């Protein structure tokens, strides 16, 4: 078994869509980034890559490469899924948390699970997503950004 952790944060800005877990969420601002800035999927990818011992998403999908400009993070997650298979591993489970003061994430969590599990070719029951606020504290609490953390367990196939 191999375990990895991931963390990501993006600033909230005007005139950008808010995409989290591959779900387009209706909100007055979106996350700033080179790709679609999907903070949850980025944290999950980093956790998976960490479990593989293969660095992070910046190493594999650098923000200096134009081919990744505005790309769907779900499509990048599919590539990470291929890396997992090519390394002779399979996903055991993923546990994650989104930290956002607003908008409320609860109505979107099931669709996020479906998108992530489909991209990785795993059962939705293997993906857990929680959401929390920071009680008005820090950059998340003041509405300046959204953060996510993830832990992933990979099993080495024999």
pLDDT digits (tens, 9 = 90+) for 49-64: 999 999 999 999 999 9
Cβ(48)–Cβ(152) under 8 Å? yes
Domain that holds residue 61: 2-156
The Cα–Cα gap between 56 and 37 comes to: 15
DSSP class of residue 38 equals -
pLDDT of 97 strictly over 90: yes
Res 144: pLDDT: 97
By CB atoms closer than 10 A (0-12, 13-18, 19+), residue 83 is middle
Mean pLDDT of 118-123: 98
Cβ(124)–Cβ(114) under 8 Å? yes
pLDDT of 158 strictly over 90: no
Pairing outcome for strands 127-132 and 89-99: parallel
DSSP class of residue 84 equals H
Pairing outcome for strands 18-20 and 89-99: unpaired
Q: How confident is the model at residue 117 (pLDDT cuts 50, 70, 90)?
A: very high
The Cα–Cα gap between 151 and 45 comes to: 10
What the block records as the tokens of 49 is 């890559």
Res 77: pLDDT: 98
Res 136: pLDDT: 95
- Only one residue has tokens 């992530």, namely 116
Q: What percent of the chain has pLDDT over 70?
A: 100
Peptide bond into 13 cis (omega under 30): no
Number of domains in the chain: 1
The Cα–Cα gap between 134 and 117 comes to: 27
Question: Residue 97 is part of a domain; what is its CATH number?
Answer: 3.30.1330.50
pTM: 0.97
Res 157: pLDDT: 86
């Amino acid at each position: 078994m191999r375990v990895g952790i991931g963390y990501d944060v993006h600033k909230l800005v005007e005139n950008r869509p808010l995409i989290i877990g591959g779900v387009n969420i209706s909100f007055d601002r979106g996350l700033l980034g080179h790709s679609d800035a999907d903070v949850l999927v980025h944290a999950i990818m980093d956790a998976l890559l960490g479990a593989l011992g293969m660095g992070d998403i910046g190493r594999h999908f650098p923000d200096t490469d134009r081919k990744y400009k505005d790309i769907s993070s779900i499509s990048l997650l599919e590539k990470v899924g291929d890396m997992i298979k090519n390394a002779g591993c399979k996903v055991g489970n993923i546990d994650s948390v989104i930290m956002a003061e607003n908008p409320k994430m609860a109505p979107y969590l099931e669709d996020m699970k479906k998108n992530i599990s489909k991209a990785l070719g795993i059962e939705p029951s293997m993906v857990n997503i929680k959401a929390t606020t920071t009680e008005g504290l820090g950059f998340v609490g003041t509405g300046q950004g959204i953060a996510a953390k993830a832990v992933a367990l990979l099993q080495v196939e024999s």
